[in-house]
Amino acid sequence: MGYWHNNPMHTFFYPGHIEHDPAKIHRPDDAQWNRYYAEVAVRGQILHDAIQAANLGPITHPGDFGLSPIQDVHAHEMINLLQNAYEQMKLEMGREVAIPETFSLRPRSRRHHYSVFGQLGFYCFDTSSPIFAPTWNAAYWSVQTAVSATALLLANQAANMQTAVYALCRPPGHHAAADQFGGFCYLNNVAIAANWLVQQGQRVAILDVDYHHGNGTQEIFYGRSDVLFVSIHADPRYEYPYYWGFADEYGYGSGYGFNHNLPLPPGTQGPAYLSALIKALTHIRAFVPDTLLISLGVDTGQGDPTGTFLLETPDFFEMGRQIGSLGLPTAVIQEGGYRLDTLGQHVTAFLTGLQTASTPEISPRT
């Protein structure tokens, strides 16, 4: 089994993400509103600067793999909406942001909707993912960031180099399903990267450690056996996304047994979380993947405005160390994390733990 022994970690980052910024609809006197639009542009720069300061390795722009990897996962109609909703909203209503007002619940009509509101309500499941003029470009390059990381991972494998790669994706992606978006997410970065890897002949495991369940990723792979999905997250009886992420969701058809959810109660602290991580890693070992993708959300950290967990910086280091001890080629895809004063230190702690893993034993920090 190979280990990293402090090899440099390559980071992919697209600086143009900053043009997509929900902070544009900030309300100074409404903390709850601002929590709902917590995925602000400064997050990306904070992470970039923290990675640079930690000197983990080179930071470069992603390559362009085109629309094909996106089209292989997401519905054409939803892609078209994400590309055109801003202009259509501006034309119909004169507004500078597209947010749905009415939702298609049941039955979900398959008729074509001419109004942008009809389209938004069909393909979006909440109001936390506003579409501005630069949103499509940011989402597109967030995907390219993830695919670039996995492409480098394959190249490293071919060269017999056991190095981890970090995709500093923004906006995040794990709530976006094949034909629905929401939860700050527009295109599912990790699912697109995983599907691309499968097309290259890889057997892929995804471990989602975001505070919120990756409902979109689960849905995309729920009937498939070539991608394992394991998620540790807040119990959906209490937390967003509410309707997905229960422990008895195992997949269906040929995908049965390839989906594992480990929901945890409000107020979970480091030792309990790391105990759940042991179970998650057991599922991954049993699957024997060629490649491991991590949906990394640090909104599990204490004081995050969108979460209730109480993880501290050493817990993130230990998470990375335990995952790294698997010795698998690993790409880390950035998801959530919204407490800005601890965001950088939590992510760099995780990546440092992953990078410096040097022992296969797995034991939680006490």
* Angle in degrees, CA 88, 94, 95, rounded to 5: 85
From the list 249, 248, 198, 252, the residue with the least C-alpha distance to 227 is 198
Q: Which residue type sits at 340?
A: L
Name the nearest CA neighbour of 42 among 340, 349, 348, 342: 340
Collect all residues with Cβ–Cβ distance below 8 Å to 170 and sequence separation of at least 6: 14, 17, 39, 41, 43, 44, 47, 138, 142, 334
| pTM higher than 0.75 | yes
Q: How many residues does the chain have?
A: 366
Contacts with 32 (C-beta within 8 Å, 6 or more apart), sequence order? none
Residues forming a β-bridge with 262: 232
Whether 260 is a known active-site residue: answer: no
Which residue in the list 17, 20, 174, 175 is annotated as catalytic? 175
Structural domains of the chain ordered from first start: 10-73+133-356 (3.40.800.20)
List per-residue pLDDT tens for the chain, 366 residues long.
344 445 789 999 999 999 999 988 877 777 777 777 899 999 999 999 999 999 999 999 999 999 999 999 999 999 999 999 999 999 999 999 999 999 988 777 777 888 999 999 999 999 999 999 999 999 999 999 999 999 999 998 887 777 799 999 999 999 999 999 999 999 999 999 999 999 999 999 999 999 999 999 999 999 999 999 999 999 999 999 999 999 999 999 999 999 999 999 999 999 999 999 999 999 999 999 999 999 999 999 999 999 999 999 999 999 999 999 999 999 999 999 999 999 999 999 999 999 987 434 433 333
Torsion of CA 179, 120, 82, 335, to 10 degrees: -70
Torsion of CA 162, 168, 173, 175, to 10 degrees: 80
